[in-house]
Structure 1
Amino acid sequence: MESKFFIYRIDVVEDKLLCNESSNVPDITAVTTSYLLCIFVGSLSVLIMCGNLLVIISIIYFKQLHTPTNYLILSLAVADLLVGVVVLPFSMILSVGSYWQLEDLLCKVRGSFDIFLCTSSILNLCFISVDRYYAVCQPLRYRIKINVRVVVIMILVSWTVSAVIGIGVTILGPKQGQCNRRCALFQTTSSTIMGAVFSFYLPAIIMFAIYLKILMVAWRQARSIQNTTKTGATVSKMERKATKTLAIVMGGFLICWTPFCLSMIIHPLSNDTIPVPVIETFKWLGWSNSVLNPCLYAFFYSWFRSAFRMIITGEIFHGDFSKSKLF
């Protein structure tokens, strides 16, 4: 029996839609590309799942990590984990296979979860910036303004709003028939712009403004640090380090997702479409952000490094280390 291999490509059709099409390509190059894509996506999914599971287990297991800020980091790690569990596997299926009976469903599920999880990540980062604002700019009011109840509300809001946007943009987008039985990477012009504004640009602007304010306050605090007590200086230093690290996390997210989100706006409004390989690269760059955050935590936070080491070596299974002093 002759083997058939499928490779994934994206075509531009009417109304500036960017559609995915699976087609029979028997040559060896297509087969090799499909295999390499599977290996790449599979490896990326495993890295995303392992890294974010380490973050999730660390925060849940070690009581010292039960803080409002870490609960927000936990929520962010769950969103990143789901990218590796749901979005990437569905993308791989759509990329290397042709299943017309299921493609419409897979396309909608992948698209909805993609928008949903990307929005959830940036909203979680937005709420983390609010947490950092009170920790650095209003430290005396921090425990009053930011507590577990407030953080739970923040997390619920981020996931609920993200779900509404993800489902809404998918419903407003083109049906598969409008895309010639192909999976649209970009939706209609109106839904694409609305989704980009509310899922990325508006939260990004808010985060940038908050961190700019934090930077100004931290700079003033650094100049007057010699007038504080030693204990106060230590606490301030820890908060500033945490803020700096989380600002880097935010920066990593923006670097990974800005190219694709810019193309979401430029593509529907421009007569000259962006080259398809460029857009595909931007999309994978955005998804790869989900593996970046655990690496940043391990690099900048000594307590996360200690927690990761105890989990990876299996030390936590040989006794109750939940109350261990990590910092």
Structure 2
Amino acid sequence: MYLFMLMAIIITVTGNLAIIISISYFKQLHSPTNFMILSMAVTDFLLGFAIMPYSMIRSVENCWYFGITFCKVHYSFDLMLCLVSIFHLCCIAIDRFYAICHPLHYSSKMTFSVIRGFLAVCWSVPAAFAFGVVFSKAYASGIEGYEILVECSSSCPVMFNKLWGTILFTFGLFVPGCVMTGIYVKIFAVSKKHAHFMNNVPEKENDKKQNQLSKNKDRKAAKTLSIVMGVFLICWFPCFVTILVDPFLKFSTPAVLFDALTWFGYFNSTCNPLIYGFFYPWFRKALRHILLGKIFQPHFYTTNLFLQNQ
């Protein structure tokens, strides 16, 4: 178990660190969408670096060695980073919606100042919610014998009551998931409509080729990010459902099962760099330059990472 979890942590930390370095270093990758991907990679990196190691020890040893105060800090950051990820995915979906459905207004709508505003909301709202709910103990209000359970337990238990379990599931996963799904369905419908229109409009050969390449690039980006969104929902949905139904089942979910579902959610942060590496040739090229140490060369940050047909 230690070996398996340690491998997941190493892939999570190194993979997301490679994304952070790539987008931060190469000037060609400085775009509004990529800055949101960069911020989401920071989220996944922090989860792998600061959260997963302590969870690994608790899972394998079946004991929490770090005290009740740090237990609350750990769970607050855990919950916050999960919510930060889904907020980022919502903002990325909005960004892709404007890029594909309203391309003429994209540059004026999705400016870097707008992106900074999105990122401020993505980090501040989940942080206020997670730390506020956990440290106020609102999540445990009305749970019979909770204080005794915490004092007697050695595994850092955090259980949500019916109210906060429902709120967390509804506004932390269900509503954002429905919004993102609706946006991506609209994106693919508009992309299909645009493709049909382009095929029936006579154009100069060069213009037609350029427009086709641009449309293919936007559709590929939307498809890749929709896969990222789908993997996130698949990985975290079982854990959120358990948080929702467990209070109504009088907290009968076995601790081992809940722990396994939590790690299944963590696995999402491990998958994201692998998805980018599989679908984005620019990431593979940037990673190759990083591993070869070329980024230490003067002015190498201006190098071209895109092929002509990307």
Deviates more, 1:278-287 or 1:69-78: 278-287
Residue number in structure 2 paired with 1:142: 106
1:213 maps to a residue whose letter is K
Residue number in structure 1 paired with 2:20: 56
* Secondary structure of residue in 1 paired with 2:157: strand
Distance 1:281 1:180 in 2: 21
Relative to 1, partners in 2 of residues 1:314 and 1:288: Cα closer, same or farther, differing over 3 Å? Answer: same
Residue number in structure 1 paired with 2:176: 203
* Secondary structure of residue in 1 paired with 2:252: coil
On the 8 A contact 1:94/1:106 being kept in 2, the answer is: no
Structure 1 unmatched ranges of 5 or more: 1-35
On the 8 A contact 2:140/2:159 being kept in 1, the answer is: no
CA deviations 1:132-187 (Å, max 9, x no partner) are 00011001111011111111100000101110121122132349734242322422
Distance 1:225 1:179 in 2: 64
Residue number in structure 2 paired with 1:263: 242
**Residue 216 (structure 1) shift:** 1.3
Distance 2:170 2:58 in 1: 27
Residue number in structure 2 paired with 1:4: none
CA deviations 1:190-233 (Å, max 9, x no partner) are 22222222222221111111111112111211212222632222
Residue number in structure 1 paired with 2:11: 47
On the 8 A contact 1:59/1:70 being kept in 2, the answer is: yes
Distance 1:326 1:114 in 2: 34
**Residue 239 (structure 1) shift:** 0.7
Q: Which has the higher strand share?
A: 1
Distance 2:250 2:71 in 1: 26
On the 8 A contact 1:165/1:199 being kept in 2, the answer is: no
* Secondary structure of residue in 2 paired with 1:184: coil
Deviates more, 1:72-81 or 1:274-283: 274-283
**Residue 42 (structure 1) shift:** 2.4
CA deviations 1:281-303 (Å, max 9, x no partner) are 21111001101111111111111
Residue number in structure 2 paired with 1:279: 258
Residue number in structure 1 paired with 2:30: 66
Residue 87 of structure 2, aligned match among 123, 128, 133: 123
On the 8 A contact 2:101/2:187 being kept in 1, the answer is: yes
On the 8 A contact 1:90/1:106 being kept in 2, the answer is: no
1:257 maps to a residue whose letter is W
Relative to 1, partners in 2 of residues 1:302 and 1:231: Cα closer, same or farther, differing over 3 Å? Answer: same
Deviates more, 1:171-180 or 1:279-288: 171-180
Matched, 1:192 2:165: yes
Residue number in structure 2 paired with 1:237: 216
Residue number in structure 2 paired with 1:15: none
Query: How many residues end up aligned between the 2 structures?
Result: 290
Distance 1:193 1:145 in 2: 34
CA deviations 1:287-323 (Å, max 9, x no partner) are 0110111111111111111101111121212443100
Relative to 1, partners in 2 of residues 1:180 and 1:153: Cα closer, same or farther, differing over 3 Å? Answer: closer
On the 8 A contact 1:165/1:195 being kept in 2, the answer is: no
Residue number in structure 1 paired with 2:40: 76
Relative to 1, partners in 2 of residues 1:90 and 1:168: Cα closer, same or farther, differing over 3 Å? Answer: same
Residue number in structure 1 paired with 2:230: 251
Residue number in structure 1 paired with 2:68: 104
**Residue 94 (structure 1) shift:** 3.3
C-alpha RMSD over aligned residues: 1.9
Identical positions, percent: 38
2:7 maps to a residue whose letter is S
On the 8 A contact 2:235/2:267 being kept in 1, the answer is: yes
On the 8 A contact 1:135/1:239 being kept in 2, the answer is: yes
Residue 268 of structure 2, aligned match among 283, 289, 303: 289
Structure 2 unmatched ranges of 5 or more: none
Residue 173 of structure 1, aligned match among 120, 139, 144: 139
* Secondary structure of residue in 2 paired with 1:274: coil
Residue number in structure 2 paired with 1:158: 122
Distance 2:185 2:249 in 1: 32
On the 8 A contact 1:256/1:285 being kept in 2, the answer is: yes
Relative to 1, partners in 2 of residues 1:99 and 1:68: Cα closer, same or farther, differing over 3 Å? Answer: closer
Relative to 1, partners in 2 of residues 1:84 and 1:272: Cα closer, same or farther, differing over 3 Å? Answer: closer
On the 8 A contact 1:94/1:107 being kept in 2, the answer is: no
Residue number in structure 2 paired with 1:326: 305
